Chain A
Amino acid sequence: MAKGPTPEELSNIDYTPPPKEWMDVPTVFKPGTFCWGAKGKNLQILEFPNARDWTPVEEDWKLPENWQEILLEGMKERLGKYRSFQLFMDICVRCGACADKCHFFVGGGDPKNMPVLRAELLRSVYRKHFTTAGKMLGKVAGARELTLDVLKEWWYYFFQCTECRRCSLFCPYGIDQAEITMMGRELLNLIGLNTDWISGPVANCYMKGNHLGLEPHTIVSNIEYMLDDIETITGIKINPSFNRKGAEILFVTPSGDLFADPGTYTCMGYLMLFHELGLDYTWSTYASEGGNFGFFTSNEMAKRLNSKIYAEAKRLGVKYIIGGECGHMWRVIHQYMDTWNGPADFLEVPVSPITGTRFDTAKSLKMIHIAEFTADLINHGKLKLDPSRNDDLVVTYHDSCNTSRGMGLLEEPRYIIKNVCNHFHEMPENTIREQTFCCGSGTGLNAGENMELRMRGGFPRANAVKYVKEKHGVNMLANICAIDRATLSAAVDYWVPGVRVTGVHELVANALIMKGEKKRETNLRGEPLPGKEGN
C-alpha cells in the first residue's frame, strides 16, 4: 500500500511558486482558460491557410512543416507594412506603467498578462531575428528562438487579450497593446491557429452577412416577433421596411441584438424610437451585421466583411447610415471603414431629419452612432419621456472599451440615461470613461469553454459594480455594446448577483411616450412598471 503523507507533511505543504525568469515558465493549458481551435471547414470557407480540425490540448497542432519560416516572413512583412508595429517592437523601455492595468492580470494574477510581458512574447522573437543585439547576444538581450513552446505561448496569451487598450492609456510612449495582439493573431492565423468561436462567426458573416448566420427570412421573422411584443406592450403596430431602396437612412446593428436577450429589448427600443419619429429608414438583411469578428483574424478579413455596409448603402441609395449599440463594430467603423472601403462620396453628411443637426464629426464617414442621434433628439426636446417608468431601476453605466477609448463617446449615453431614468449613479472614476475596465470577454473571447478566464477578466469591472450596488442599491448595468450585454450578464451573475444588464435604448423605449399608445402596464421585458405591480 502506498504510504501517504504524514499529518506534519500535510500541514507543511508550500504553495509558493518557485521564482523563475518568465522565459523559463512553461505555458500550461488549463481547461477554462482557452477556446477551442478553429474548425477546418470554417477556415476553408474563408480561404485561410492550413485548414484542418485541431485541438489546443493535443501535442500535435498539425502545423505546416515550414511554420517558423511562414511566421518570420509574416513578421517581416508586417514590420515593413505597419510603421506602428515596428515602433512598438523597438520603443518599449519596460517602465512598467502598463503592468497592472490589464483586467486579466488584475483579476487573474498571471504575470504574462501584464501587457509589457505579453508584448515581450513577440518582442523576444523579433529581437532574435530582426535586431543585431538579439542575434548576437541572445537571451542576454531578451531574445529567443521561435520554438513550438513559444508558439503555443503566443497562442495562449494572444487569446487572453481583449484589445481593450486600457494599458495604452497609461503608456508614456502610447504603445498600443491592441495592435500588438492584432499582429500576434494575424501571424497565428497564417498557420491556421484561430479559435472556433471566432472563425465560426467569421465564416457565417462571410457567407450570410452576419455572425449568427441568420438568413434574410429569419431576420425578418425575428423582428416581426419583436413587433408582436411591442404591440402587446404599447398597442402600437409597427411596420419597418427591409432592403428598401430610396430610404433616407440605412440602419445597421450587431446581429446579437436580433437574437439574444437582453439585446433583443434594445432592438425593440430602436424599432419603437424610429417609429415614433416617423424616420424614413430601412433595415438590411444583407448588411445585417455591424460587428466584425474578422477584425480578430486579419486586417484583410475585417475589411472584406466590412465592405458590405457601404456597398449596401450605395445599392439602396440612402443618404447616410445610423449604427446601433455595439462596441468593436464602432472601433472598426470609426477608425478603419473610411480608409478601407471609402470614400463614401455617394453618401451625404448625416443631418438629423428631426432636429436639423448636421453631424460634421461624420463628415467623411457618413455614419453616426445611435447614441449621438438620440442624445441630439433629447437635447432638442423632440422626445416625450416619462422617466418614472424606469423608477424601479437604479442604473449605472459601463463604458465599452471601443466606444470610450476607441471613439470618445462618453457623454451622449450618460445624457440619454439621465433623461430617461431618475436613478443614476456612476462607478468610481478610475473604472469608467477612458479608464473603463473591459467586460473581460471581448475580441471573440466570449465563448463558453473559457469561462474561468472570462470571470477573471470581468472581475475588476464587476468589483466596481458591486461597490455601487452596495453604496447606492444599483440593480441595472447599462451599456452600448452587444457583447457587453451578453458577457456582463454572465459576469454579474457570478460576481454581483442581483444586478441585470441593459442596453441604453431599452431604457429609452421604456420611458418613451408614444403617440396613440395604450396605458403601459409593463416594461419591454414584460415586467410590471413601477406602481403597476398589483395589476
Chain B
Amino acid sequence: MTLETFLSEKKPALIEKWFNLILATYPADTSSFLKNQKDRFTNPVGHTIYQGIEKILDELVQGVDLDRVSPFLDNILRVRAVQDFTASQAVAFIFSLKNVVREEIKGEKNLTVSCDELHKLDSHIDALALASFDIFMKCREKLYDIRANELRNMTFRLVQRANALGGERDAESESPPEGSNNDNA
C-alpha cells in the first residue's frame, strides 16, 4: 500500500485527530463547544475549521495545488488572525498535521513508508505552512486597511464639501473610497 492510498483510507481518522489537536489550542470550555455544536451557523468557527481541514487533506492526498487549497486555508486563517493567537500559534495547526500522519503510520503494521514518500509529504505540508503565513499576513493587513478606510470615510464627506467650496466638484472627490466606513451615530 502506498502512502497516498493509506492517507485516503485513513482520512476520517486523520481529520478527527487533526481537528481535535486544533481545538485543543482553545480553552477547554471553548473547544468542547467547537467540537460538539454541529450547526454551521451556531458554530461557524468549528464548521469552518472542520470543512477546511477536510478539503486540505483531500488536496494533500492528491498533491498540493495551492490555487485550490488556498481558499480553505484562508477560511481558517481569517478566523485565527482575529482570535487570541500569536502569528506562530495561528499557523501552527498546519505543522501538527505531520505528527497526526506519523502517529497514524506508526499504528499501521502492514505499511512501509519510504523516506522519499515521507519527505514528499513533509514538503507538501511545508508548502501549506508557507502559504498559511502569506494568508495570515494578508488578513492582518486587511484589518489595518479596514481601520484606515474607516478613518478616511469618516472625514470623506467633509473633504468633499471643502473641495466643493473651493471650486468645482472634481471627479475624484465624487467617488467615495472603496471599503468600509464608520460613524458613531
Chain A interface (Cβ < 8 Å from any Cβ of B)? 11, 13, 15-17, 19, 25, 30, 32, 99-100, 105-111, 114, 197, 200-201, 211-212, 221-222, 225, 254-257, 259-264, 289, 291, 293, 326, 428, 430-431, 444, 446-448, 451-452, 455-456, 459-460, 463-464, 467, 482-483, 486-487, 489-495, 526
Contact = CB atoms under 8 A, between A and B. Distances in A.
Contact of A100 (B43, B48, B142, B158): B43
Interface in B142-168: 142-143, 146-147, 149-151, 153-154, 156-158, 160-161, 164
B interface majority secondary structure: helix
A interface majority secondary structure: helix
Given A17-B25, A19-B28, A212-B185, 8 more contacts: A25-B27, A30-B84, A109-B27, A225-B164, A263-B185, A430-B42, A483-B185, A494-B78
B44 A212 contact: no
Contacts of A494: 78, 82, 139, 142-143, 146
Contacts of B147: 448, 451
Interface in B91-117: 92, 95, 98-99
B34 A463 contact: no
B183 A482 contact: yes
Contact of B185 (A452, A459, A486, A495): A486
Interface residues of B, number: 54
A455 B185 contact: no
Nearest to B79: A459
Given A17-B26, A106-B42, A263 B183 contact: yes
Contacts, number: 171
Given A17-B27, A448-B150, A460-B41, A455 B143 contact: yes
A16 B23 CA distance: 9
B185 A256 contact: yes
A467 B75 CA distance: 13
Nearest to B37: A100
30 contacts: A11-B95, A15-B24, A17-B26, A100-B33, A100-B43, A105-B30, A105-B33, A106-B45, A109-B27, A109-B45, A221-B161, A260-B154, A260-B157, A261-B153, A263-B185, A293-B184, A326-B185, A451-B147, A456-B82, A456-B83, A460-B44, A463-B41, A467-B40, A482-B185, A489-B179, A490-B181, A490-B182, A493-B179, A494-B78, A495-B78
A212 B184 CA distance: 7
Contacts of B26: 17, 109
A489 B153 CA distance: 11
A158 B71 CA distance: 35
B9 interface: no
Contacts of B67: none
Contacts of B172: none
Contacts of B174: 526
B79 to A, nearest CB: 7
B183 A451 contact: no
Please indicate which of the listed interface residues B25, B26, B29 has the most CB atoms of chain A within 10 Å of its own CB: B29
Contacts of A257: 185
Given A212-B183, A467-B41, A111 B29 contact: yes
Contacts of B63: none
Given A448-B151, A495-B78, A109 B98 contact: no
B99 A11 contact: yes
Q: Would you list the 5 A-B pairs with minimal beta carbon distance, nearest first?
A: A256-B185, A260-B183, A490-B180, A254-B185, A256-B183
B125 to A, nearest CB: 12
A240 B99 CA distance: 70
Contacts of B164: 225
Contacts of A264: 157
A434 to B, nearest CB: 15
Contact of A108 (B48, B83, B175): B83
A209 to B, nearest CB: 13
A15 B25 contact: yes
Contacts of B5: none
A460 B185 CA distance: 23
A32 B84 CA distance: 10
Contacts of A452: 82, 143
B174 to A, nearest CB: 7
Please indicate which of the listed interface residues A114, A260, A289, A431 has the most CB atoms of chain B within 10 Å of its own CB: A260
Contacts of A428: 41
B39 interface: yes
B62 interface: no
B184 A109 contact: no
A109 B30 contact: yes
A53 to B, nearest CB: 20
